[in-house]
Structure 1
Amino acid sequence: MSEREKMQAGQWYCCLDPELDALRAQARRAVHAHNTCAPDTRGAMVPELRALFKSVGQDCFVEAPFHCAYGLNLQLGDRVYFNAGCVVLDTAPVRVGDDTMFGPNVQIYCARHAKNPTERAQGLEIGLPVTLGQNVWVGGGAILLPGVTIGDNATIGAGSVVTKDVAAGDTVVGNPARPVRRS
């Protein structure tokens, strides 16, 4: 089984693999095209970035600068909005529901690295999916850690670090993020 196949199967894999390096280089080229295109020309997102993503719904908008690790694991519903400075390290599926919005500098991490220093030095990691439901608001500077699921209509406060699943309709804030009220 190749390292890419292991990554896609949710198993431990070596991120230093040449095939994965090539996929990350492809993503960097698409991200560069998006981030350096004049705003009047770029529109919602450049074709290279749209083609990179696994799927893109209608009326999605990605502000520049933007960064993703692979892009091929990123699935956007309709009317998804990424504000400037967002980072998606999509070593596993990242699913974003319709009408979900991200404030500036939001970071989504799927990769969990080996805790053992020797294994970590060998590039071992595992990707855990991140899923956001419909009509989610993620405040600026929030960080979503590997494996979390955010329910429909949830709100993530600015600067929050989400380490656990967030129930539908909940508002969470802080580090680690904790519920403050239900909508």
Structure 2
Amino acid sequence: MPRTDIQNLALREQRREEILQAALKVFARRGMVATKISDIAKEANLSHGLVYHYFQSKEEIFTLLVQRAADSSVQIIEQAYLQAGTPFEKITWMTEQILHSLAEGQQILLFLIMIQASTSDAVPEEVKQLFTSKEFKSPVHCLIPLIMEGQQHHDIISENPLQLAVSYYAFIQGFAINKLQWAQCPLPEAASIMKIFK
């Protein structure tokens, strides 16, 4: 019995997701430059040609993963805004969620992709354009209004909000890298990270 259009679409989306997940692991291990489509295909247990059926190039895959990583970081901030409590309590909630995802291993590779994308000269032109486009939402810049609101409530120190946001994400990215290199790396409590805002 032939598959329906809905089943075909579902299978296509499943295949694309399998390739993206495999690519995420390979890019994290090998970096953008050293990764080949054949490496991604091998990781996904798919043929080289089948990967090309779903994606035009490794650059396209990398760009999609960078967009996913950025969206994921912004979504957690948007969820934090919706939480009850003061701005400080909202950022604390967000920090707990991020640390939990790092402990579970879900977000570590996405953090690593973002670090590669923002520090390597070899990233695709599409990624550079993504970072400089007006539509791009940087997690650092999305956090600033919440920090400023906290400063107005006097529960966050009156220092440069951009510097505070940068410092916050430097901590998070550092823990992500440590956790990737050392799986048993103990992560701090959210309260320890939140001290930078006091």
Same fold (TM over 0.5): no
After TM superposition, the score normalised by the length of structure 2 is 0.28
Higher-strand-fraction structure: 1
Higher-helix-fraction structure: 2
After TM superposition, the score normalised by the length of structure 1 is 0.30
State which structure, 1 or 2, has the greater radius of gyration over its C-alpha atoms.
Answer: 2
More relative contact order, 1 or 2 (CA 8 Å, 6+ apart): 2
